[in-house]
């Protein structure tokens, strides 16, 4: 009787192994640096999609594949318990037209094409140290308009100055000026925290946004503020001090000061009134 059950188990294992080998063979002939994997995944997604609408995410992926250079991708959120299936980095916004905010990652020409798994999530945040082996990614927040004729029209694109660690995107409102902005959140293992690149629509949705960075880490903190009361967002940057406790292995981190930065339109820089040598680009 035991031999009979053993034979059944071995037979089932053999069938599973054969099926796995057959499934893997679908990918063996695909060059990982080509666009075929992206196109294949898109076709599978189209077949499995149940509720589609004009200008949806699948249509946008198709547009990017056909109109952007090889190695360009519509980015997805990092995997979380909330999003077991990666969520595309897309926000639909209806105003005077049908708008779509999308995060697009482009590969640096002349280097290996990036793979989305290497630019999303905590581990990929270290790619900024040496990204040449895995390719260099350039992130762009892009605004598309989907017109009545069924076309995607690119209105503008604005670069996020970081190579990896993408986590999520959100549509927010800056209350003091009632200004809409898009927050791109990046995990950052180097500062043991995260960075947010905030794109403020200070001149309306159809004009390029204003970029401002906030962050939070063990010894890094920069928060949104309204310092000089103009239309541009400002921030407060905190200064930390690390002191050693009596035990050699323990440290104490304290905030000892804060410094307000505000946007100088003439210099196109964030400046402060304490030291002219301290300035920031965003």
Q: What is the full per-residue pLDDT of the chain (282 aa) written as tens digits?
A: 444 444 443 444 444 444 333 323 332 333 334 445 666 566 655 556 667 778 889 899 999 999 999 999 999 998 766 656 778 999 999 999 999 999 999 999 988 898 888 899 888 888 867 656 788 899 999 999 999 999 999 999 999 999 889 999 999 999 999 999 999 999 999 899 999 999 999 999 999 999 999 999 999 999 999 999 999 999 999 988 877 655 555 667 888 899 999 999 999 999 999 999 999 999
Output b/e per residue, 20-36; b: 16+ Cβ within 10 A.
eeeeeeeeeeeeeeebe
Q: What is the pLDDT of residue 253?
A: 81
Strands 137-146 and 152-160: antiparallel
Supply the DSSP string of 118-160, one letter for each residue: GTBSSGGGGGGT--TTT--EEEEEEEEEE-TTS-EEEEEEEEE
pTM: 0.80
Q: What is the pLDDT of residue 51?
A: 75
> Measured between alpha carbons, how far is 3 from 255 in angstroms, rounded to an integer?
70
The 8-class DSSP code of residue 52 comes to -
Q: What is the pLDDT of residue 272?
A: 97
> Measured between alpha carbons, how far is 96 from 11 in angstroms, rounded to an integer?
63
C-alpha angle with apex 88: 78 to 154, nearest 5 degrees? 130
Cβ–Cβ < 8 Å for 240, 216 = no
């Amino acid at each position: 009787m035991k031999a009979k059950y053993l034979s059944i188990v071995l037979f089932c294992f053999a069938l599973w192994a054969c099926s796995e080998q057959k499934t893997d063979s679908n990918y063996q002939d695909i060059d990982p640096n080509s666009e075929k994997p992206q196109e294949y995944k898109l076709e599978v997604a189209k077949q499995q999609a149940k509720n589609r609408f004009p200008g949806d995410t699948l249509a946008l992926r198709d547009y990017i594949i056909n109109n952007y250079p090889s190695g360009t991708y519509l980015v997805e959120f990092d995997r979380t318990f909330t999003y077991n299936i990666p969520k595309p980095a897309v926000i639909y916004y209806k105003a005077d037209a049908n708008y779509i905010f999308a995060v697009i990652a482009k590969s640096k020409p002349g280097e290996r094409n990036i793979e989305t798994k290497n630019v999303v999530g905590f581990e990929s945040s270290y790619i900024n140290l040496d990204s040449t082996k895995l390719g260099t990614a350039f992130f762009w927040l892009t605004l598309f308009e989907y017109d009545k004729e069924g076309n995607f029209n690119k209105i503008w694109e604005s670069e996020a100055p970081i190579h990896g660690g993408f986590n999520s995107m959100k549509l927010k409102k800056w209350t003091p000026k009632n200004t809409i902005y898009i927050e791109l959140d990046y995990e950052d293992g180097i500062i043991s925290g995260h960075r947010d690149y905030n794109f403020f629509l200070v001149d309306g949705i159809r004009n390029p946004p204003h970029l401002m960075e906030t962050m939070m880490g063990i010894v890094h903190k920069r928060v949104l503020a309204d310092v000089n009361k103009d239309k541009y967002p400002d921030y407060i940057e905190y200064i930390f001090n690390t002191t050693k406790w009596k035990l050699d292995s323990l440290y104490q981190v304290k905030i000892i000061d804060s410094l307000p930065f505000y946007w100088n339109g003439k210099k196109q820089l964030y400046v402060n009134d304490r030291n002219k040598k301290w300035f920031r680009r965003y």
